[in-house]
Amino acid sequence: MEGGKPTLPLVYQAVQALYHDPDPAGKERASVWLGELQRSMYAWEISDQLLQLKQDVESCYFAAQTMKMKIQTSFYELPPETHTALRDSLLSHIQNLKDLSPIIVTQLALAIADLALQMASWKGCVQTLIEKYGNDVSSMPFLIEILTVLPEEVHSRSLRIGANRRTEIIEDLAYYSTTVVTLLVTCAEKSGHDEKMLIKVFRCLGSWFNLGVLDNNFMANNQLLMILFQVLQRDETSTNLHEAASDCVCSALYAIENVAVHMPLAMQLFQGVLSLETAYHMAVAREDLDKVLNYCRIFTELCETFLEMTVRTPGLGMGDLRILELLLICAGHPQYEVVEISFNFWYRLGEHLYKMNDPALHRVFKPYIQRLLHSLARHCQLDPDHEGVPEDTDDFGEFRMRVSDLVKDVIFLVGSMECAGADSVASRDGPPCCSLHQHRAGWRDERSDRPEPLHVR
């Protein structure tokens, strides 16, 4: 940076200009200057000083963000003997600034996580953090934030971590994962009516599920699973908490996709999700679309996870076809956004059945596909007062096009004539979905130009 190390008043002035200067040109100049500062060696010391002084939210946020960025991209600038001092300084900052702003806490948590992943000399960082802050109620929110972003950063492309180091990290996190979950159970049980804390707990648990390091048997009998499904079953659960719990269950289902390896946990999740049907109907009755969409995401993830078992042993054990009933219930919801969530599963089911080419198996699934197509036909109807054909670029037009693509993938199970006949009856007020597909795609060969499926995950 030209002119040497800038003074702190000059840095404060630039930060204030960035956030408060009414002149766009002034904001741009401040942004460029601060960007140069962030790329310089001076950024380490200046950021540390800004966080220590704690003058205002803007300067602390800039400093926390700068520290995170420097650790992610320029960690090599620091000699190894300074790493411990940097760690202690960051832990001191996050404790002192924990009540200033959640955004600042997140930036510092990311900085600490990224430091831990690159600092090979920091052994057992999870255990260290839990021992240091686990018994302090006021420190619990930022501790859980660090434990949430730590597994998320393992595969970050911003970090220069070699394959061997990454493997070492994952093994280390797996070793301490039960310690983390035990801490989360304690937090959940003590949270009472503290919804924000419970949301943090579910986010953290989902993060560890996503990394794939949680012990299968330990989690199958864990209190947190029961708490998760209790939250999802309760009618009075808030939208934010419901979303966090739904995300966590989806992460858990995704983590056990190799069901045979995770059988105890898979059975618990399977039964837990089946228990949510009544809660779904309650959300529909209350016209709570956010919760309806969450339940449909969970049901779809359940079907995605157990797809292989459903196809191999339909109606037996965890090939239980009730999971398809859950998706068909969702398909009956008047809002087409709900059924659209499940499209990727139906694509995959069609693909599996097509490849297996087993007429007896096709007959098992044919009634489910027929019911799906009837529901899709109703969703594709135009309002009686609608004039013309929907534009391909509007949401409803795009939905109808995606329906046409889905029909192409499952039509072999029911036959085109039967499909068209059924849809014509169901779609008196608008073009049937199969007719729409026939018009747009010309009944192309079964697997030519297959569209990219919707990845619900």
- pTM, to two decimals: 0.87
Q: Where are the domains of the chain?
A: 215-341, 348-457
Q: How do residues 94-127 score in pLDDT, each as one tens digit?
A: 999 999 999 999 999 999 999 999 999 999 999 9
Q: How far apart are CA 422 and CA 434, in angstroms?
A: 9
pLDDT in tens, 331-387: 999 999 999 999 999 999 999 999 998 999 999 999 999 999 999 988 887 666 656
Q: Would you state the pLDDT for residue 385?
A: 63
CA 387 to chain centre: 39
Contact 282, 258 (CB under 8 A): no
Distance of CA 389 to the CA centre of its chain: 35
In the prediction, which pLDDT does 444 show? Answer: 28
> Are 191 and 183 spatial neighbours (Cβ–Cβ below 8 Å)?
no
pLDDT reading at 435 higher than 70? no
**CA 98 – CA 139 distance, rounded (Å):** 8
Nearest-CA neighbor of 180 among 143, 154, 155, 212? Answer: 143
Rounded alpha-carbon distances, angstroms, from residue 94 to 48, 102, 108, 152, 360: 12, 10, 6, 19, 62
What are the residue ranges of helices labelled H in 40-162? Answer: 42-53, 57-73, 83-96, 102-118, 125-133, 140-153
> What pLDDT digit, counting tens, does each position of 222-232 carry?
999 999 999 99
d(CA 168, CA 213): 13
pLDDT at 413 over 90: no
What is the pLDDT averaged over residues 272-285? 97
Q: How far apart are CA 109 and CA 399, in angstroms?
A: 40
Which residues does 413 contact at the CB level (< 8 Å), separation at least 6? 350, 353, 362, 365, 366, 369
